[in-house]
Structure 1
Amino acid sequence: MMTMKMNDEITRQQQELASLIDRHTPSAGTYDTPISSLKLFRYDGESQPIYSVYDPALCIVAQGSKLVMLGEEYYHYNPASYLVASVNLPITGQIIQAAPQHPYLSLQLNFSTDQIVDIIKASHSEWGHKDGSERGLLVSQTSPSLLDAVLRLVRLLDTQRDIPVLAPLIIREILYRILQDEQGGASIRKFAVAGSHAQRIAKVISLINRDFAKPLRIDDLAAAANMSPSSLHFHFKEVTAMSPLQYQKQVRLQEARRLLLQDMPEAANAGFQVGYESPSQFSREYGRMFGLPPLSDIKRLRESLA
């Protein structure tokens, strides 16, 4: 009986969340909100692969479903689950369930490691540190308490005068609810523990993102992480599902695509800006990732956006 009541409550919360997001997203697209860390999304149909670099964030689907690819791993989430990225990760996403009468509706709430550390310090909970994967991306089952807090945050968009005072409190509660989750919380906490393997890899990820156009020097990254090169490779792949070089390549190519989409006329110039010295190598690796050579891909992308 309790399980049935819980399922009924989750269904009601999902329907209200979908209604709120639908009202604040009048057409397909990505919407910034008066809550700076909160974005809303609407797609009126299934999508082609969408390439992006996730910041640390909580992602919740209110309606429809999405497939996310990290390295060669696939993560599927829908209204029954949530996705958490604990570090910056280059991913490929695809809307796999959406229609004009039943659009894909979701939200993304960005957060920082400092926020997580602050909550851990303030809490008297004996969470401990569980063994297991250090992967920086996971999908976990949602709960009524998490959805309740998320709903109260999104409702603030209708009473914007309350946002400066109430939004930080509700966001703190949302992150606390995730930390309480046995699966999601265990993953996030690893990246907040000073000196942990996950925390040191997060530092390396930050360095690669900052200097992605420069040559990758594993010895320098290993020294920054206080690891041996072999240990760095192992733990980096544990977190990101790819090697440091593969990670840098994905970040470079996604940035090149963004530059080309912003009317950079020459593909070679975009390649040079993101660190490629050989136009042919850039074109080859770009085509391998996006399916077409740079200018053909941008033409296709612009047509699909139009």
Structure 2
Amino acid sequence: MTNLMDDELVRQQQQLASLIERHTPDAGTHSTAISSLKLIRSCGEALPVYSVYDPALCIVAQGSKLVMLGQESYYYNPASYLVASVNLPITGQIIDAAPEHPYLSLQLNFSTDQILDIIKQPHTDWNHAEGSGRGLLVSRTSPTLLEAVLRLVRLLDSERDIPILAPLIIREILYRILQDEQAGASVRQFAVAGSHAERIAKAIRLINRDFAKPLRIDELAAAVSMSPSSLHFHFKEVTAMSPLQYQKHVRLQEARRLLLLDIPGAANAGFQVGYESPSQFSREYVRMFGLPPLSDMKRLRETLAERSN
């Protein structure tokens, strides 16, 4: 039975890789006619990419990827999938890709409302733990999940069917994730009103909304109806970092984005994301990205120019 399941997974992975390759004529992240679905192709190992993940399912059809959350590493490949249940600042790096064997993957974003709509249905029996767990995890891919994912990607070949069928298939995909003992618990915790995880999700939204403003832990804790100590504990359980560390990651990633858009002056970008001291901004920028802002921009632009040639 196990061998048959493994054979089925390999067949599905090959089909998914073929579909993604056909719909990604060149390297990069490609939006699709399904608004929540993106397809990714890379023809070589690249520099780490810093971003804030929205809640999403990430599946690799070919190649592999390493994701860092704080000091934790998450590796996934075609035998596994990654799910982010809440907005998280991560570092991602493709570690297995080549022109003749490109990295091929997809990202399907979802919302807490979509999860809540499933778990509140009658005749379902979900366990609702009161604690809080990590908002990012890797779990083993199943044939039932991949089969639903394949049907979703195949809709890109018949776009007129997307408005009717895509929401139904996405609902099935999310249901399959919720059925996974490990991943399901991680995703469900943020949809349970009043749970520690749901309050942390609210705290994360508040930080992201006002990341350039000074962060006062007592005010943030009061806004989500938690004590400062409880907020700190559960925030770290979900994100692997403290609220202040989270804010720093978001600030620096936004500053890097502004610099890449040619916002004049590194110090100005630092000021826009909440840094009052240019030297502190530069120091923390180097600590995260490995180079001072202007040197980092030179490296990034050279890398982008090489890819476009």
Scaled to the shorter chain, the TM-score interval is over 0.9
1:90-137: CA deviations, max 9, x gaps?
000010111100000000000000000000012522221357761000
Comparing 122-131 with 181-190, greater Cα deviation is found at 122-131
8 Å contact 2:51–2:253 — kept in the other structure?
yes
Query: CA–CA distance in 2 between the matches of 1:76 and 1:300?
Result: 26
Task: Give the residue type in structure 1 aligned to 2:46.
Answer: S
Query: CA–CA distance in 2 between the matches of 1:214 and 1:123?
Result: 43
> Per the alignment, in what secondary structure is the counterpart of residue 95 of structure 2?
strand
CA shift, 1:207, in A, is 0.1
Task: Give the residue type in structure 2 aligned to 1:274.
Answer: V
8 Å contact 2:131–2:197 — kept in the other structure?
no
- Does 2:82 match 1:108? no
Residue number in structure 1 paired with 2:125: 126
> Per the alignment, in what secondary structure is the counterpart of residue 122 of structure 1?
coil
CA shift, 1:237, in A, is 0.3
- Does 2:254 match 1:255? yes
Runs of 4 or more, structure 1, over 3 Å off, are: 130-133
1:21-45: CA deviations, max 9, x gaps?
0001111101000100000000101
Query: CA–CA distance in 2 between the matches of 1:96 and 1:281?
Result: 32
Residue number in structure 2 paired with 1:135: 134
Query: CA–CA distance in 1 between the matches of 2:24 and 2:12?
Result: 18
Residue number in structure 2 paired with 1:265: 264
1:58-207 to structure 2, matched below 5 A, reads 58-130=57-129, 134-207=133-206
CA shift, 1:305, in A, is 1.1
Q: Specify whether residues 148 and 24 from structure 1 end up closer, same or farther in structure 2 by C-alpha distance, changes over 3 A only.
A: same
CA shift, 1:268, in A, is 0.8
Unaligned segments of structure 2, at least 5 residues: none
Task: Give the residue type in structure 2 aligned to 1:294.
Answer: P
Query: CA–CA distance in 1 between the matches of 2:71 and 2:257?
Result: 23
- Does 2:289 match 1:287? no
> Per the alignment, in what secondary structure is the counterpart of residue 45 of structure 1?
coil
Query: CA–CA distance in 1 between the matches of 2:276 and 2:261?
Result: 21
8 Å contact 2:89–2:250 — kept in the other structure?
yes
Comparing 119-128 with 185-194, greater Cα deviation is found at 119-128
Task: Give the residue type in structure 1 aligned to 2:271.
Answer: F
CA shift, 1:265, in A, is 2.3
- Structural RMSD (CA): 1.0
CA shift, 1:47, in A, is 1.5
Task: Give the residue type in structure 1 aligned to 2:303.
Answer: S
Query: CA–CA distance in 2 between the matches of 1:188 and 1:124?
Result: 19
Task: Give the residue type in structure 1 aligned to 2:102.
Answer: P
Residue number in structure 1 paired with 2:234: 235
Query: CA–CA distance in 2 between the matches of 1:171 and 1:302?
Result: 37
Query: CA–CA distance in 2 between the matches of 1:124 and 1:99?
Result: 47
Task: Give the residue type in structure 2 aligned to 1:206.
Answer: R
- Does 2:277 match 1:278? yes
Query: CA–CA distance in 1 between the matches of 2:126 and 2:229?
Result: 30
Task: Give the residue type in structure 1 aligned to 2:200.
Answer: I
Task: Give the residue type in structure 1 aligned to 2:235.
Answer: F
Query: CA–CA distance in 2 between the matches of 1:182 and 1:197?
Result: 20
Q: Specify whether residues 131 and 99 from structure 1 end up closer, same or farther in structure 2 by C-alpha distance, changes over 3 A only.
A: farther
| Alignment length (residue pairs) | 305
- Does 2:2 match 1:3? yes
Query: CA–CA distance in 2 between the matches of 1:83 and 1:130?
Result: 21
> Per the alignment, in what secondary structure is the counterpart of residue 120 of structure 2?
helix
Q: Specify whether residues 14 and 132 from structure 1 end up closer, same or farther in structure 2 by C-alpha distance, changes over 3 A only.
A: farther
Residue number in structure 1 paired with 2:56: 57
1:246-273: CA deviations, max 9, x gaps?
0000000000000000011200110111
CA shift, 1:9, in A, is 0.6
Query: CA–CA distance in 2 between the matches of 1:88 and 1:51?
Result: 13
> Per the alignment, in what secondary structure is the counterpart of residue 12 of structure 1?
helix
1:40-96: CA deviations, max 9, x gaps?
000101111110000000000000000000000000000000000000000000101
Residue number in structure 1 paired with 2:29: 30
- Does 2:9 match 1:19? no
Identity within the alignment, %: 83
Query: CA–CA distance in 1 between the matches of 2:241 and 2:224?
Result: 17
